[in-house]
Chains A and B, each alone.
Chain A
Amino acid sequence: MKGKNSIVRFFVYLILIVASFFSVFPFFWMITGMTNSAVDILRGKMTFGTMFTENIRILFTEYDMANVLFNSLKVTGFTVVLCLLICSMAAYGFVMYKSKITQRLYALTMLTMMIPFAALMIPLFQIIVQFKLLNSHFALIVTGATSVFIIFFFRQSFVTYPFEIIQAARVDGAGEFRIFFKIFAPSMKGTFFAAAIYAFMTSWNSYMWPLIVLQTNDKRTTTLLISYLSSAYVPQYGVIMTAIVISTLPIIIIFFAFQKQFVQGVLGSVKA
């Protein structure tokens, strides 16, 4: 029995080692690439080189990476905060004020998930132009501030909340906003963290919409800069790798910092 167990274990580990190699390898190449020149990267050099400071210098002086990073952080930060606020309140409404109308509205809201962004892009662009919001970060924030998926995600976890607590709070005379912020939201922390990570990733990685709305170099976000760097006739791979590492860092930091809450939040929504 014991022998059989260790054989199983051996294969499990083997598979896991192979799988982890495949998932870690791109990161490893990315990080060594950051320290090499374009020619070395093309030759398949996988060890650390000496070009790190040069790549950083080019990125920050010629392409103003600091400003680009700031733009991305600004847009993403505002989007995440607004998105959490609006979506959680919307989901709260859908759960706590149940009626035929809200249910139909909810179904209608869900239906909009079926419309691909490509179909919305041109009318949305026209609206943004009419509002004189072209080339502004506000246009990115305001369109990213609601996500039907996040409303859905919040609602799925909110339905497990005992309605009696809300009723008790109402009896004690708490207003609806007070109930939401003081009683309801703190006990749903896990869900909020999970939604925040999702909203962060969506906004941080968004590419098509910033491309259409932003018009000048000083407004561009990290995705646009990386795309631009890679399309040169002779791409500077070292600089591109450096830009990719720098723009991946915030996602990695946020994920590891809130990993525990993230897993909790996802589990919470499955329980329903």
Chain B
Amino acid sequence: MKRILLVISVLTLCLGLFAACEKSTPDPTTDTNGNQQSDTQQTDSQKETEDKSSSSDKQKITVWAWDPNFNIAIMNEAAAIYQETHDNVEFEIVEMAKADVEQKLHTTLASKMTEGLPDIVLIEDYNSQKYLQSYPGAFADLTDKINYDDFAPYKVELMTVDSRVYGVPFDSGVSGFFYRSDILEEAGYSADDLNNITWDRLIEIGKDVKAKTGKAILSFDKADGGLMRIMLNSSGLWYFDAEGNITVSNNEALKEAMETYKKILDADIIIPTAGWNEWVAAFNNGDAASVISGCWIVGSVKAATDQSGKWAAAPVPRLNYDKSINASNLGGSSWYILEGAQNKDLAIDFMNEVFGGNVDFYQKILVNNGAVASYLPAIEGSAYSAADEFFGGQAVFADMGKWMNEIPSINYGLYTYEADAAIIANLENYLSGAKTVEEALQDAEAQLKSQIQ
């Protein structure tokens, strides 16, 4: 008797497990699943009508974003602007850590449950293809809804899959060469000498500056792949090609970028730093004469108010590689609308009206939050063309707008951070002389392959 009971209980357990497995891999051809889907749709529409009748046509847009002083503050501003003309729309801006947004989005999309999805989510540009390609159909196709001619072309390219565009470009990471004009003048360099230079030229200037003023040209963290990504992006090449194949060991720009890292370190023209805080501190307290990074660094540069008027900005240096130009990008993020969201159409209308059409809004967020837009008409606005006293009267944001338009378009692929980590891990062997640059890149490629396949 007991044995029979045991067998029965084990059988029911197994059955339960199988049923669970079946559900988690829905097959659209089976009848049962089709029925289920229509069931949930019905309850959804029922719920929606209930919601509408109960709250007198109030509609809610849910947004996930991560920085209280940057993208959340900006979203609040955008929401307020939209509500001025649409008083029946409410906003629920859910505050989460960046890693939490990614984790939550992955789980919710993987569970195939539309209930937990936001209407709009912020995704970092380097990760956008990971989501777009891993969850086809999960994000709303906005190709015909948004006028993408108004946005910086490189931002549009990174959210394109099979010539369909998903997402609304947000903050740009257009990079610049921000330098202390007073220190460089002391060493005998005018603004023209620093315009459109190569990295090799920068190293020469760095040596000269060090000899004449004793200052380092850059603060430099060799464990950070940021500069390498700037060099790569300026060449129109990446760790992956347009088809998603790894291009690490056979990448001319990457090879030159590695060599440039070594040259910079061997020339003894930098302050070695570890981590973000040391890196920022080195130019804030005047030890480093310049910084090369994305435009979002301007906020940290300006934090040293005692250096006002002593800074200037030039286009980012280029590599010797023939396709490399003096324009590049580091970082940035964009908004995406979920296909399964409750108020998808409303969300599209909102994004179109504010992020895709309101020039004044972009002036406001540049002044208040330091957000450099990738919306091109905004760059003609007053806030962008204003002379910046901190940069000695130079209209830096208008200049950045010009550089932004030239940034080579790249498809970042699915595994930017994994590739970055593999290269940095093998960089030390090359820097120490244990391996040649080709060997180090081959090792990095092998490591990357084993990690992502």
Contact = CB atoms under 8 A, between A and B. Distances in A.
Interface in B270-329: 277, 281, 296, 299-300
B29 interface: no
Contact of B98 (A99, A108, A216, A231): A231
A234 B297 CA distance: 11
Contacts of B68: 62, 228-229, 232
A234 B69 contact: yes
Interface string A95-111: 00001110011001000
Given A100-B2, A233-B70, A125 B20 contact: no
Interface string A196-221: 00000000000010011001110000
B113 interface: yes
B25 to A, nearest CB: 11
Contact of A233 (B62, B69, B94): B69
B103 interface: yes
Contact of B24 (A104, A108, A126, A134): A126
A224 interface: yes
B2 A122 contact: no
Contacts of A224: 96, 100
For chain B, which range describes its interface: under 10, 10 to 19, 20 to 34, or 35 or more residues? 35 or more
A230 interface: yes
Contacts, number: 89
Interface string B9-21: 1000100000010
Interface string B210-248: 000000000000000000000000000000000000000
A272 B256 CA distance: 67
Q: Which of B2, B69, B95 has its CB near the most chain A CB atoms (within 10 A)?
A: B95
A183 interface: no
Given A211-B96, A224-B100, A231-B67, A101 B5 contact: yes
B35 interface: no
Nearest to B47: A132
Given A99-B2, A233-B67, A217 B113 contact: no
A134 B94 CA distance: 15
Interface string B391-424: 0000000000000000000000000000000000
Contacts of A100: 2, 6
A231 B94 contact: no
A227 interface: yes
A81 interface: no
Nearest to A207: B100
A233 B333 CA distance: 13
A153 B6 CA distance: 25
B66 interface: yes
Nearest to B113: A129
B111 interface: yes
Contacts of A14: none
B277 A125 contact: no
A123 interface: yes
B97 interface: yes
B23 A228 contact: no
A155 to B, nearest CB: 20
Interface in A150-195: none
Contacts of A233: 67, 69-70, 296
A121 interface: yes
A243 B7 CA distance: 52
B99 interface: yes
A227 B97 contact: yes
B104 A211 contact: yes
Contact of B111 (A125, A215, A217, A231): A125
Given A125-B111, A224-B96, A227-B97, A215 B116 contact: yes
B115 interface: yes
B97 A134 contact: no
A229 B13 CA distance: 43
A42 interface: yes
B100 A227 contact: yes
A238 to B, nearest CB: 14
Contact of B107 (A108, A122, A230, A234): A122
A224 to B, nearest CB: 7
20 contacts: A42-B277, A100-B6, A101-B6, A104-B6, A108-B13, A122-B111, A125-B107, A126-B111, A126-B112, A126-B113, A129-B111, A134-B116, A211-B100, A212-B103, A215-B94, A228-B95, A231-B100, A232-B68, A233-B70, A234-B300
The 5 closest A-B pairs by CB, nearest first: A231-B97, A227-B97, A129-B113, A231-B98, A122-B111
Given A216-B92, A217-B92, A231-B67, 17 more contacts: A101-B6, A121-B107, A123-B20, A123-B23, A125-B113, A126-B23, A134-B116, A212-B107, A216-B94, A217-B95, A224-B100, A228-B97, A231-B96, A231-B97, A231-B100, A233-B67, A234-B300
